[in-house]
């Protein structure tokens, strides 16, 4: 493409700073394009494109490029419809507009070539992903020499924006990641994760928080929340106005929540079995002891839902049924469609992880964060390169993005087991195929009523895969399961406070046979009969919890009990430990 080489541009920036040692750090922080993208990718994949198809694409490309050039020479400013080039400076200069239009045309050509590759579906997906990374990285908006908006800012600020941008970049290099939010604006326990509560138990793996009731009476059965161990729990307790934890407390639930420890080298040998046995099952026992209740309303979010479901199946094999109900939010049980993450999952990649981590070590939070950012590079990488570095702006204070940058590390053996047995081989859904904590796992043995939520635009857990859990759980009474589909994505769909009255959700209370639920198109069938409702799905969930919460009883006067006394105030120490 007729664009500056980003590696050369970056080296030039480093020369201006005067410290070449920073080059390696910067290079590792952002996606880097190859010099000959398509040829190299095809060679690595062992794939090819038919010569006649290449000829067709080339002819179409040359025709469009010729037309674009003719319009430019005639003084006609190209029309550019892309939000990356929405600033007036891009359209004020015919050359800048042409540069943007040429880039978009080149990107269109590379994408068309990727789509024309003859390869297996998984290979094509990997090729498309790699090409898209290159296309996004090569945008003229990403470089000062070709970004007229950044150049205008440079002139208007008399060079201050460049100085500030370089300062921002140096600061990010020290952190090893690109700042997405004003991190000085937030502090865990001060203005995020502030719902009052007490840590009543801790082990080497997690702390258990019991939240302070805000109602005179509570549902008899407590709610035990299991958040994902891949992220900090406070995505469920950001600020008071968007805290799912606080909402659950206000609805009359005695809420217990697991705060997973951020793994360090002392945890490098911990396994998936440990997360089930010493994690969720231990939390169930402590919650039962403190509350005096055998039955609990169980909750799992994302991988937390996968772990809690596995734990309930293990307990069922032991003759125990602690769940009065089960809530799963954006959770995989059937890994039939792993969405955007599928590009990272195949036998060679999983085997490589196993070789390095299966016997010990850590999957770092920084690497996990980079992986997720690469799924949406324009939003989570290049947008901040342009704003923070080229224009010298400070990122705004945004609690969700602050949380997003607060990553967690995972024990290598646990992570490798998870990759192979779920994402790669999809074995968890097969009754008896996996043994966890000494028991054969059969998810169909879990007969508690289930509230299952999916987000319509979720690229991490596609909603059809979330819906597939309805075919696995409670097969004897499928009508006891409830599926709700929310608007937006993996996080924003879940964190949709009822008080805000934003977005919408879909429900379908028409009976669907168990046979229909098991079909591949069952999600589409469900959607055909679904009804859209304005606002948040949270009240639907609150009603479900109330239905299975038992009688109303007096709220507990104090947290814990004699066996499990108070340790420290919520949110506890574990959540404050950063992976970096």
Question: What single string gives the DSSP state of each residue in 185-203?
Answer: G--BTTTBS-S-EEEEEE-
CA-closest candidate to residue 215, choices 256, 251, 255, 257: 251
Query: Is 416 annotated as catalytic?
Result: no
| Cα 269 to Cα 264, 359, 362, distances in angstroms | 10, 7, 9
- How far is CA 566 from each of CA 199, 202, 258, rounded to the nearest angstrom? 6, 10, 15
Q: Which residue has the tokens 């008071």?
A: 240
Interatomic CA distance for residues 375 and 367, integer angstroms: 13
Residue 6, pLDDT score: 35
Measured torsion, CA atoms of residues 504, 506, 509, 511, in degrees rounded to the nearest 10: 180
Q: HEC states along 275-289?
A: HHHHHHHHHHHHHHH
pTM of the shown model: 0.88
Give the start-to-end residue ranges of the domains of the chain.
Answer: 6-184, 203-364+409-576
Catalytic residue among 229, 302, 336, 416: 302
Other beta carbons less than 10 A from residue 387's beta carbon:
18
* Sign (positive or negative) of CA dihedral 188, 193, 195, 196: negative
Question: How far is residue 413's CA from residue 362's CA, in Å, rounded to a whole number?
Answer: 8
- pLDDT per position in the chain (580 positions), as tens? 333 343 443 344 334 333 334 333 433 444 434 344 555 555 555 667 888 988 999 999 999 999 999 988 988 999 899 999 999 999 998 999 999 999 999 999 999 998 998 888 888 888 899 999 999 999 999 999 999 999 999 999 999 999 999 999 999 998 888 999 998 999 999 999 999 999 999 999 999 999 999 999 999 999 999 999 999 999 999 999 999 999 999 999 999 999 999 999 999 999 999 999 999 999 999 999 999 999 999 999 999 999 999 999 999 999 999 999 999 999 999 999 999 899 999 999 999 999 999 999 999 998 888 888 888 999 999 999 999 999 999 999 999 999 999 989 999 999 999 999 999 999 999 999 999 999 999 999 999 999 999 999 999 999 999 999 999 998 877 778 999 999 999 999 999 999 888 999 999 987 555 444 444 347 888 999 899 999 999 999 999 999 999 999 999 999 999 999 999 999 999 999 998 6
Strand order in the sheet with 197-202: 531-534, 504-507, 482-486, 450-455, 323-329, 296-301, 223-226, 255-260, 206-211, 197-202, 568-569
Indicate left, alpha or beta for 446 from its phi (over 0: left) and psi (-120 to 50: alpha).
beta
Q: The domain 203-364+409-576 belongs to what CATH superfamily?
A: Alpha/Beta hydrolase fold, catalytic domain (3.40.50.1820)
Sequence-distant (6+) residues with CB within 8 A of 312 are 298, 322, 323, 326, 446, 448
Longest dimension (CA), the chain: 84
Cα separations in angstroms, 100 against 132, 143, 149, 297, 343: 16, 12, 12, 54, 29
Q: Distance (Å, rounded) from C-alpha 567 to C-alpha 569?
A: 7
From the list 429, 383, 461, the residue with the least C-alpha distance to 30 is: 383
Give CA separation, 35 vs 3, 138, 155, in Å: 12, 11, 32
pLDDT of residue 478: 72
Helix (H) / strand (E) containing 218: strand 217-219
């Amino acid at each position: 493409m007729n664009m500056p080489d980003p590696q050369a541009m970056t080296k030039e920036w480093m020369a201006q700073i005067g410290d070449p040692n920073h080059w390696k750090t910067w290079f590792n922080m952002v996606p880097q394009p190859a010099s000959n993208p398509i040829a190299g990718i095809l060679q690595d994949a062992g794939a090819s494109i038919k010569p006649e198809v290449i000829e067709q694409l080339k002819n179409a490309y040359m025709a469009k490029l010729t037309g674009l050039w003719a319009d430019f020479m005639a003084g006609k400013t190209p029309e550019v419809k892309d939000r990356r080039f929405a600033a007036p400076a891009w359209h004020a200069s015919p050359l800048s507009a042409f540069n943007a239009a040429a880039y978009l045309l080149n990107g269109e050509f590379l994408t068309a070539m990727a789509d024309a590759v003859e390869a297996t579906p998984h290979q094509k997906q990997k090729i498309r992903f790699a090409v898209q990374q290159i296309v996004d990285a090569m945008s003229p908006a990403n470089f000062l020499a070709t970004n007229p908006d950044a150049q205008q800012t440079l002139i208007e600020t008399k060079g201050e924006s460049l100085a500030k941008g370089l300062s921002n970049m140096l600061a990010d290099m020290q952190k090893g990641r690109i700042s997405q939010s004003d991190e000085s604006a937030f502090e865990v326990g001060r203005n995020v994760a502030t719902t009052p509560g007490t840590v009543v138990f801790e082990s080497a793996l997690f702390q258990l928080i019991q939240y302070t009731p805000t109602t005179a009476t509570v549902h008899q059965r407590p709610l035990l929340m299991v958040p994902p161990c891949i992220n900090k729990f406070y995505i469920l307790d950001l600020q008071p106005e968007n805290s799912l934890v606080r909402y659950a407390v206000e609805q009359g639930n005695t809420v217990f929540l697991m705060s997973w420890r951020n793994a360090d080298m002392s945890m490098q040998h911990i396994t998936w079995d440990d997360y089930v046995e010493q994690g969720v099952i231990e939390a169930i026992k402590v919650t039962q002891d403190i509350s005096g209740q055998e039955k609990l309303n169980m909750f799992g979010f994302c991988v937390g839902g996968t772990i809690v479901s596995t734990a309930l199946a293990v307990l069922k094999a032991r003759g125990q049924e602690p769940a009065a109900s089960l809530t799963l939010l954006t959770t995989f049980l059937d890994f039939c469609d792993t969405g955007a993450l599928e590009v990272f999952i195949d036998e060679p990649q999983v085997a490589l992880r196993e070789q390095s981590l299966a016997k010990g070590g850590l999957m770092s939070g920084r690497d996990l964060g980079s992986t997720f950012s690469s799924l949406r590079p324009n939003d989570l990488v290049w947008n901040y390169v342009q704003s923070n570095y080229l224009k010298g702006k400070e990122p705004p204070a945004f609690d969700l993005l602050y949380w997003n940058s607060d990553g967690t590390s995972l024990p290598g053996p646990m992570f490798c087991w998870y990759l192979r047995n779920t994402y790669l081989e999809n074995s968890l859904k097969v009754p008896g195929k996996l043994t966890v904590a000494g028991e054969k796992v059969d998810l169909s043995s879990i007969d508690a009523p289930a509230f299952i939520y999916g987000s319509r635009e979720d690229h991490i857990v596609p909603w059809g895969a979330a819906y597939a859990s309805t075919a696995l759980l409670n097969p004897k009474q499928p009508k006891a399961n409830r599926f709700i589909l929310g608007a937006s994505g993996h996080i924003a769909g879940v964190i949709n406070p009822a008080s805000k009255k934003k977005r919408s959700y879909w429900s379908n209370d028409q009976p669907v046979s168990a046979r229909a639920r098991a079909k591949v198109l069952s999600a589409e069938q469900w959607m055909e009969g679904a009804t859209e409702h304005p606002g948040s799905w949270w009240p639907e969930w609150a009603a479900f919890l109330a239905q299975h919460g038992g009688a109303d009883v007096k709220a507990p006067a104090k947290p814990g009990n004699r066996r499990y006394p108070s340790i420290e105030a919520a949110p506890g120490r574990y959540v404050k430990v950063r992976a970096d």
